[in-house]
Structure 1
Amino acid sequence: MEPAPVFDAPLPADLAAPGGHYSHAVRAGGFVFVAGELPIAPDGRKLNQEPFEAQALQVLANVAAALRSAGSSIDRLVQVRVYITDIGHWPQFNAIYAQWAGDARPARAVVPVPLLHHGFLLEVEATALA
């Protein structure tokens, strides 16, 4: 029988508390599942009025922090899904992402969406090995 999911990953200082009834990261079945991360600073400040680059950097920092909190890391990523409100930002995001991910090359999808919560420009969710 598979062990139950682990929801007790500690909240690191570099990640804001969840804004709803969810965990930033959950360990289950040898994987870490990272919730859709938004451009929210560790102090809870929403970066929805910031330029795209600032939002992208914060989202990726949040993904990395969530992975660390669950005992994983960027180099253990297996899948990343990016929700983006303007596909015109994709080349810029891809360049930022490539630098952030380094040698990691997880499966990835981009999903153009019309709107995101609070007017954010992107959201990223991920799965990694625990």
Structure 2
Amino acid sequence: MKEIINTKKAPGAIGPYSQAVKANGFVFISGQLPLNPETGEFPEGGVKEQTRQSLKNLQAILEADNLSFSDVVRTGVFLKNMEDFAAMNEVYGEFFTEKFPARVCVEVARLPKDARVEIEVTAVCE
């Protein structure tokens, strides 16, 4: 069985997918672009601001199922330019402060809406 998780505190899906799916003790959260859920726009600034918004969106989805970043076991970070790694990592460290999840970070040719970053997570739930 699977349960769909959805919150208006994060941007809605821009395609035929769910914000998150809960199944077999895990919550799989789709990649979050740095869209402000109220305006549908990217924040002003660069990759730091975009990373922060993507993580805020993930946080809102986690909280919709009474979870937090401490429940995250794996993240996937997609960067438009690997030269942004240090800046992204700095902001990422504001949200993940201990018992760090496993992570993959890759550079991609292009992201939806020409974002500079997109982040997905998998969390464990009871």
TM-score by length of 1: 0.88
Structure 2: 5+ residue stretches without partners: none
Q: Which residue of 2 aligns with 1:121?
A: 116
Q: Which runs of 4+ in 1 moved over 6 A?
A: none
* Aligned match for 2:22, one of 24, 27, 33: 27
Q: Distance in 2 between matches of 1:94 and 1:116?
A: 18
Q: Distance in 2 between matches of 1:54 and 1:91?
A: 13
* Aligned match for 2:52, one of 47, 57, 65: 57
Q: Distance in 1 between matches of 2:14 and 2:109?
A: 21
Q: Which residue of 1 aligns with 2:90?
A: 95
Q: Distance in 2 between matches of 1:113 and 1:62?
A: 21
Q: Which residue of 2 aligns with 1:38?
A: 33
* Aligned match for 2:103, one of 96, 99, 108: 108
Deviation string for 1:96-122 (max 9, x for gaps)? 111111214000010110111111001
Q: Distance in 1 between matches of 2:122 and 2:86?
A: 23
Mean Cα deviation higher: 86-95 or 66-75: 66-75
Q: Distance in 1 between matches of 2:15 and 2:65?
A: 19
Amino acid corresponding to residue 3 of structure 2 in structure 1: V
Q: Which residue of 2 aligns with 1:5?
A: 2
Q: SS of the counterpart of 1:43?
A: coil
CA 1:55 to 1:97, structure 2 compared with 1: closer, same or farther past 3 Å? same
Contact kept? 1:82, 1:125, Cα under 8 Å: yes
TM-score by length of 2: 0.91
* Aligned match for 2:12, one of 17, 20, 27: 17
